[in-house]
Structure 1
């Protein structure tokens, strides 16, 4: 079972907004708050990422940054330039960009940045899979494929051919998958989440088993035995790595699959319930209502009504 394909197919992430930023000399841009995943890659040159709190980060050509959600931050030619931006932010709307450029001269910089959209029914699950802050350097050993992809994005962003927006959106989406594909051995085990779980061989195997047969009656005892651990050690490590207990992870994934089936198919509630491991409509409805807040049928009607109204 390819867990990543399983998840990408379900959530269908889309790069709904991207923009190219070109600058030269001393310059700066203040980027507003976002409560959805945002990205930035350096196509040409280099710049500084300056967060509201924490240390500035020098991003060089080919570097990629992905953030689960952000407070306002700055991208600048040099760390001292952020002070000018802070002064310009007074009186600016919270969702507005601020940009200044002192003019020509100096090295040229080109950035591509934007954010991803996930269906609202999967936003929490998607966000839970991402680390708060993921920075990949072009010099990293595993960044070779990303470097080639960045070169394509840089080339596409600098031309104006038919279909440019579509091609750019697809390239950016592929970049997200490539980021998820990167070797997981360097993930900080102290930060709980899906990446951390996938980096642990035992927990990775347990996740594979649950995704391969979501309707199976999985138990902590059975999973622990399958991955060669004691029940207590497995339960503790799974919670430490993934951030939730095995039963909670399985329930959340089942409900995510149910949401997708309710919204994108005409399958009956009974068929959906059986396919994800619930042996009766009432058991499925109880579990779904506990997580989502409404019964499955009501969820389907409400979302279909929203889609019709658009």
Structure 2
């Protein structure tokens, strides 16, 4: 989930943890796994918690005592990860990401914020389409910001991207996933010894290089199986497997079912939802 403060200021109050004061232009990205409050006054959380007991867990509570005050405008929403990719992305994305409008790297974001603020208050044709694209661009821009402030002690994709050598290795894997990558070859590509590279990759990313490569290939395979009519052989070759049997074995070991069975089951589920 994300929140963008377009106008004014407010408090973000998680159910557990310290409140955070958000200023105009601040951006907050959080996992949608817990209750939270957005309030103008911390005392309001007591009333909201009391009202919350009478609503479902997926509903919002709104309380306005009508006393006026400064105008606050927020743009918020969520990005949904398909269930087939939840396990992969849960280890890659941060639980919490706050970018302040005063941060040095927020200059490009401030221009996007201005566009989003204008678009959110207009009634021009195509407004919803433009808004959806702008918030997607903002998400990408957030992830493109300088990574030198990422805490490398917390393993994950962001921590890996903050390390120049591991960043380069990840880029090479993503650019040519079908290549016959080995730990030796990746280490050579980033000018490191095999032992040092393997250890640092695991420390930064949280999994060994071979595991990351396998997980990424399976994620690409899932996407192709669900969103294309490509043959299993074609998919296997495109992500680095030299035979259907090798691909099927790796896929079944990770997912629990063979590729063809996965495709049939998920497409049946999609048809049922429609």
The TM-score with structure 2 as length reference comes to 0.94
**Per-residue Cα deviation, 1:248-297 (whole angstroms, up to 9, x for no partner):** 10001111111122222222222211221111111100100111111011
Q: How far is the alpha carbon of 1:305 from its aligned partner?
A: 2.3
Instruction: Measure the CA separation in 2 of the matches of 1:102 and 1:225.
Output: 64
| Residue among 174, 181, 190 paired with 1:227 | 190
For residue 99 of structure 1, give the secondary structure of its aligned residue in structure 2.
coil
Instruction: Measure the CA separation in 2 of the matches of 1:93 and 1:263.
Output: 32
| Residue among 217, 232, 250 paired with 1:254 | 217
Equivalence map 1:97-136=2 (5 Å): 97-136=60-99
Q: Which residue of 2 aligns with 1:16?
A: none
Instruction: Measure the CA separation in 2 of the matches of 1:124 and 1:167.
Output: 31
Instruction: Measure the CA separation in 1 of the matches of 2:114 and 2:106.
Output: 12
Q: Which residue of 2 aligns with 1:199?
A: 162
Q: How far is the alpha carbon of 1:228 from its aligned partner?
A: 2.2
| Residue among 145, 149, 161 paired with 2:124 | 161
Does 2:150 match 1:187? yes
Instruction: Measure the CA separation in 1 of the matches of 2:197 and 2:162.
Output: 15
| Residue among 187, 206, 221 paired with 1:243 | 206
Q: How many residues align?
A: 273
| Residue among 21, 28, 32 paired with 1:58 | 21
Q: Which has the higher contact order (CA 8 A, sep 6+)?
A: 1
Q: Which moved more, 1:215-224 or 1:92-101?
A: 215-224
Instruction: Measure the CA separation in 2 of the matches of 1:205 and 1:271.
Output: 27
Any gaps of 5 or more consecutive residues in structure 1? 1-37
Instruction: Measure the CA separation in 2 of the matches of 1:159 and 1:265.
Output: 37
Instruction: Measure the CA separation in 2 of the matches of 1:168 and 1:127.
Output: 26
The structure with more strand, counted as a fraction of residues? 1
Any gaps of 5 or more consecutive residues in structure 2? none
Instruction: Measure the CA separation in 2 of the matches of 1:202 and 1:227.
Output: 6
Q: Which residue of 2 aligns with 1:282?
A: 245
Q: Which residue of 1 aligns with 2:48?
A: 85
Instruction: Measure the CA separation in 1 of the matches of 2:8 and 2:136.
Output: 23
Change (3 A) 1:282 1:161: same
| Residue among 180, 192, 213 paired with 2:176 | 213
Is contact 1:42–1:110 with CA below 8 Å preserved after alignment?
yes
For residue 234 of structure 2, give the secondary structure of its aligned residue in structure 1.
helix
